[in-house]
């Protein structure tokens, strides 16, 4: 069991419903890899507006520095949080309806001038990249994180190389 | 000058920006036609979350019975208001961006289960229909409004008849 | 067995085909929860225009106060009913074709000025919200319904809280 | 002035609003070219449902053989007419809203199984082709029309040839 | 076995690939129900342009009166056939790619002015309606077909009534 | 006047209508810059199928090596030409309808397996790139063209540099 | 004239073409308001790949902490820069083609897992919000910026209040 | 086992991830059928920018004449390669996200003027056609390839004929 959770989290991950867990845990896994403490919170812009308001107003003073917010359908959560909090808010649109996330994407990214939400790709790639973008922000202040990020990118590149090598056999057999 | 404004408004019309006036005034014009008192309020889900919250919590107790909310882009205003207020909330998506209102439409209509927003068409037709839908709701309680609505529908039908008659000349000249 | 069906229904739920049942029953379940009597009717704008016309003209005089209409594809049913009846008509677009409900959404929401249809989200969320919107309308007249709605919202909020709590274990194990 | 209008029209052109005239007159012009008698009618599926019903039930017995129906937004007119009449109904989706006719296209073409609407392109090309499709239907019965159609196609081909020739100068000057 | 196939077919059903069979057979089944002789042909606008040309030029003189053409992806087959033949051509867009038939729909319906294709809904509903539209065309000339169509519509209406009745039990048990 | 037109053209530019000239001349201008002889032809897949067939079957034997085909709406021309000719066919989708070229894009790019069309961007960028892609193909065989292409790319890069320099003044004045 | 440009810029604004200036200057104006030094650079992912590479590799070591990248069409610039640089990259999709920025939006936001781009709204709202998001990142380290941001949000709220007040006259005159 | 791989490949097939193999192998299979030597490479525009750069700069000098590049999501790989290399670059958009390839299609096809990418259909049809387009390019120089292509097209036509024949039984049994 990992016990450093909630002890001075630097990143807050929010999601509108626990059905978003399978996607949003990708963000948590990346932060684990970087040893960045985080917390995960279920709160809905529509069903628990007070809870959302309370979270957004208190996050910064508890030391949270970046928020990653996943929501589907008419995804208002990221925008609502960004309206209240002054922290950088990263939005992850989720494919929760028949429209395959196009609704959540437009609801998240098309924020009017004044209140920005940094929008990532729909679904798991977006959750993962939301965490990696938080890493880039935190790396501005902490050199140790920056160094881990360089290693992370190198590992990704090596994996591509390995996949290329492994593919050659299949090509021969085509 | 019309002076009955704000005296016991039955309908509250909200818009996210005064640039929405040209569209949302269509709602006001319909309500004038029905002699239904209303108020119009500029408030933003993102730029003035407190003002929006204050309006949504107080509208019902001031006697407002229906809310009509116009918003463009990542249109969160109707959903945010519906999350707080218990009144019927009618959403009018506005074409305020390069995406011609498709963003506002999906942000308004794709509300998750639990908090309904009654969505109308994009733009002026939606603003007009938002008011006519408020009329239908109010007509359930007040028979005078129902009778005016019957006349209104008859007038619409007559206008179509007149347009048909006027068209015949142009057809002859084709 | 529930026997209060059809005794003075306050809400009429219509659907274009019995294949819409799995979605539209969500509306019925919500109304059951609020003890609001309702009826459910299969009628098609295209295959049974007379039946649809007969229903729409008679609903109000039988005491029905709100109509919830589900339809897929080129979903005309809600608009056709709203053209005849003076009641508030709530439209639920269904994902019945390859276009995943985008066709039904646009066919339902883009009503021209004059005849409003209050459009909900595509599919089950829309059916559920259609009923909850009917509840908001009926609550304007009946305080008992308004009180149940307040409890309903509180229950929803509590469920989110419980889901949040349950999630924390999974977060620890990430 | 053309006086053969309404004397035994073979084609009925319907439109939901007189604002559709500029587009739908293209259909009339083609029929004029073929000397096919037609009538043009303004009637709305939503604002004048009785008038629409009356037209659709009587058209065939008055000798009309094909209906061309133009409508924009949530374009229900063609479907409503096709549900009542047994005649072939051709639908022309019009770009009357911010969605540029995509709403009218899907509302017209995505008819459920049982009631067909023969959908043409959005706008003027669709109005013109609606008439040409009516011509193809009528040509099945009347050889004179078929012969005119052959001439019409030859004229179109000649125009393309002429345009090609005229273009060569501009190419030289490029 | 049905032996009247190919003996003086009145309707020609074309499809671009035998993988379209599952959808296009819906058209055949409707024509069987009306005892209208038809033929079914696999030919591709792109892979067998000569075969397609030969079919389109000869269909009318063999007595075929209406063509129903199903195609997916960049669905050119209906347009190519309509450019050559003078018969009424009905296009059925098929969902054969990742874009779920939106590509085939636009490729079929957006024909430029001059060459009409009567477009039906995507997929099975479109195939069925393509046949029913052919029936409406043929009914103009043959009263026996018109009478069968009236029975067919009555049967559809009865089915809706039966489904409505069957649904009531499920509503009671909700 | 440029007189080398039609003398042994290496590239054939086709367009469905002379209204496509303003866009398709961008392709011609690029080829002029590279001194590559070309011809421009107006021919329609639908209005002049024979002319299109004749062009496609004869182009290669006249020495043409690449075809650039612009078309709008249900853009079938490139696919029809590629079905007949064995040359590389480059398709340029044009924004000729209310759908802003999305129809032409899907009609051009979603070709079924077997007959490829190399699709470029919608409109002028696509026409220009169509010519530049033809240049890349021809450069495989002729080194002089390859050398010009290197200069062309260098010129483009220099223009970006110059624009960057020019922008700095405006930035200072912001 | 503003002379602090390029002296230790904290933010780098990139754009693919000087035609993007009218939109991207909105980002510069916001940064001016916050007295945050920045630089603006024209560089293309496709026309000047070396220049882009050089910029992306050197920005961090010159002290730049956040990059804001505007690009239209198949907008690759933000992704290409984010692949090379370790800084937070904010992408602003521009409406530079017939598709009104939907192409640039998807090309920017749908980054695969591993390399994040923080995507803003299409066009001017996105450029403005891109700068405001950079402000939120920089405010994490510099309290003076955070305080200015609080004032900025208060000013926005006041503007909404003022617009609301100004609207009341127009409402009276409705 | 096929051993001529990598010995003087004429075509380079690139893909952004080994998960693209199932689609991109369709391109390899076609090239095998034409006995055209090719190589397949996994490289990512974002995760391995240097590797991609190295490949793109060296391909031509190693004798590669055409590049086929498959990528999904915000598919930048084809554009990045085309910016560096002077070879003809064919792009195959892959359906790798919730948006079913529409993101990859627009990211690939909407290249700005100056750097062309020849875009094929989404998915397997596109991979197959990418190879067939490479064949058409190579056939310009090598008559043996052109002759094989004629046989290939004849085989495709024969297959359609065979499918047509096989279908007739099923039609009889309808």
**Residue A7: band (very low, low, confident or very high) from pLDDT cuts 50, 70, 90:** confident
E89-94 and F118-119 beta bridge pairing: unpaired
**Residue F4: band (very low, low, confident or very high) from pLDDT cuts 50, 70, 90:** very low
Instruction: Please compute the mean of the pLDDT values over residues B86-106 and round it to a whole number.
Output: 98
Residues of chain D in contact with residue B167, where contact means CB-CB under 8 angstroms, are 18, 21, 40, 42
State the pLDDT at residue E19.
Answer: 95
User: pLDDT by residue (tens digit) across B106-149?
Assistant: 999 999 999 999 999 999 999 999 999 999 999 999 999 999 99
User: pLDDT by residue (tens digit) across G95-146?
Assistant: 999 999 999 999 999 999 999 999 999 999 999 999 999 999 999 999 999 9
Instruction: Please compute the mean of the pLDDT values over residues H16-44 and round it to a whole number.
Output: 97
User: pLDDT by residue (tens digit) across D130-156?
Assistant: 999 999 999 999 999 999 999 999 999
pTM of structure? 0.96
Residue F1 has pLDDT above 80, yes or no: no
Residue B4 has pLDDT above 60, yes or no: no
Residue H14 has pLDDT above 60, yes or no: yes
Residue H138 has pLDDT above 90, yes or no: yes
State the pLDDT at residue A6.
Answer: 55
Q: How far apart are CA A57 and CA F143, in angstroms?
A: 66
Q: How far apart are CA E61 and CA E81, in angstroms?
A: 15
Q: Decide if A45 and B109 are in contact by the 8 Å CB cutoff.
A: no
Q: Are F10 and F138 spatial neighbours (Cβ–Cβ below 8 Å)?
A: yes
Q: How far apart are CA A72 and CA A17, in angstroms?
A: 9
Q: What is the ipTM of this complex?
A: 0.95
Q: Which of D121, D168, D174 sits opposite F97 (nearest CB)?
A: D121
- Crossing angle, helix H143-172 and helix E21-33, to 10 degrees? 40
Distance from CA of G174 to the nearest CA of A (A): 28
Phi, psi of H131 (to 5 degrees): -65, -40
Q: Decide if F110 and E84 are in contact by the 8 Å CB cutoff.
A: no
Q: Are F107 and H135 spatial neighbours (Cβ–Cβ below 8 Å)?
A: no
Q: Decide if D5 and B166 are in contact by the 8 Å CB cutoff.
A: no
Instruction: Please compute the mean of the pLDDT values over residues F137-159 and round it to a whole number.
Output: 97
Of F72, B51, G70, the closest CA to residue B14 belongs to B51
Q: How far apart are CA H143 and CA F60, in angstroms?
A: 13
Residue C4 has pLDDT above 90, yes or no: no
User: pLDDT by residue (tens digit) across A110-149?
Assistant: 999 999 999 999 999 999 999 999 999 999 999 999 999 9
**Residue C3: band (very low, low, confident or very high) from pLDDT cuts 50, 70, 90:** very low
- Count other Cβ atoms within 10 Å, centred on residue C18: 17
According to DSSP, residue G52 is labeled: H
Residue C110 has pLDDT above 60, yes or no: yes
State the pLDDT at residue F3.
Answer: 41
Q: Decide if A5 and C172 are in contact by the 8 Å CB cutoff.
A: yes
Q: Are A106 and B74 spatial neighbours (Cβ–Cβ below 8 Å)?
A: yes
Q: Decide if C42 and E163 are in contact by the 8 Å CB cutoff.
A: yes
Residue A3 has pLDDT above 90, yes or no: no
Give Cβ neighbours of residue E121 (< 8 Å, ≥ 6 apart). Answer: C73, C74, C97, D109, D110, D111, D112, D113, E93, E129
Residues of chain F in contact with residue E107, where contact means CB-CB under 8 angstroms, are 74, 76, 103, 106-107, 110
**Residue F56: band (very low, low, confident or very high) from pLDDT cuts 50, 70, 90:** very high
Residue G109: closest C-alpha in chain H: H74
Q: Are H45 and H107 spatial neighbours (Cβ–Cβ below 8 Å)?
A: no
Residue D3 has pLDDT above 80, yes or no: no
**Residue B6: band (very low, low, confident or very high) from pLDDT cuts 50, 70, 90:** low
Q: Return the structure tokens found at G79.
A: 């992704």
User: pLDDT by residue (tens digit) across E118-147?
Assistant: 999 999 999 999 999 999 999 999 999 999
Q: Which of B28, B47, B98 sits opposite G171 (nearest CB)?
A: B28
Instruction: Please compute the mean of the pLDDT values over residues E83-101 and round it to a whole number.
Output: 98
Of G96, G129, G81, the closest CA to residue G21 belongs to G96
State the pLDDT at residue E4.
Answer: 43
Edge-to-edge strands of the sheet including A38-42? Answer: A38-42, A11-15, A66-72, A89-94, A118-119, G118-119, G89-94, G66-72, G11-15, G38-42
- Count other Cβ atoms within 10 Å, centred on residue E171: 18
- Crossing angle, helix C77-84 and helix C49-58, to 10 degrees? 50
The continuous run of DSSP H or E covering B93 comes out as strand B89-94
Distance from CA of A109 to the nearest CA of G (A): 5
Residue-range domain boundaries for chain A: 2-141
- Count other Cβ atoms within 10 Å, centred on residue G63: 12
Q: Count residue pairs from C and D with Cβ separation < 8 A.
A: 103
Look at the alpha carbons of C121, C126, C132, C138 in this order and tell me if their dihedral is positive or negative: positive
Does the domain formed by C2-141 have CATH 3.40.50.1970? yes
Mean pLDDT value across chain H:
95
**Residue D6: band (very low, low, confident or very high) from pLDDT cuts 50, 70, 90:** low
Interface check G144 vs A, CB under 8 A: no
Residue E58 has pLDDT above 60, yes or no: yes
Q: Decide if F40 and D171 are in contact by the 8 Å CB cutoff.
A: yes
Mean pLDDT value across chain F:
95
Give Cβ neighbours of residue B65 (< 8 Å, ≥ 6 apart). Answer: B10, B11, B87, B88, B137, B138, C140
Q: Decide if B28 and G125 are in contact by the 8 Å CB cutoff.
A: no
**Residue D2: band (very low, low, confident or very high) from pLDDT cuts 50, 70, 90:** very low
Cα separation values, A71 from A67, B118, C56, G136, Å:
13, 21, 38, 21
């Amino acid at each position: 069991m990992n016990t450093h959770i909630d002890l001075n989290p630097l990143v807050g991950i929010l999601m509108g419903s626990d059905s978003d867990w399978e996607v949003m845990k990708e963000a948590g896994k990346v932060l684990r890899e970087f040893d960045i403490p985080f917390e995960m919170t279920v709160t809905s812009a529509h069903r628990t507006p007070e809870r959302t308001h309370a979270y957004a107003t208190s996050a910064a003073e508890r030391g949270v520095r970046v928020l990653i917010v996943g929501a589907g359908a008419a995804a208002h959560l990221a925008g609502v949080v960004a309206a209240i909090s002054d922290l950088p808010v990263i939005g992850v649109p989720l494919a929760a309806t028949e429209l395959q996330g196009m609704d959540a994407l437009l609801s998240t990214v098309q924020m009017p001038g004044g209140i920005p939400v940094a929008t990532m790709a729909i679904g798991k790639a977006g959750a993962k990249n939301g965490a990696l973008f938080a890493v880039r922000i935190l790396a501005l202040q902490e050199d140790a994180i920056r160094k881990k990020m360089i290693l992370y990118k190198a590992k990704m590149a090596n994996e591509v190389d390995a996949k290329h090598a492994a593919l050659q056999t299949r090509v021969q057999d085509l």
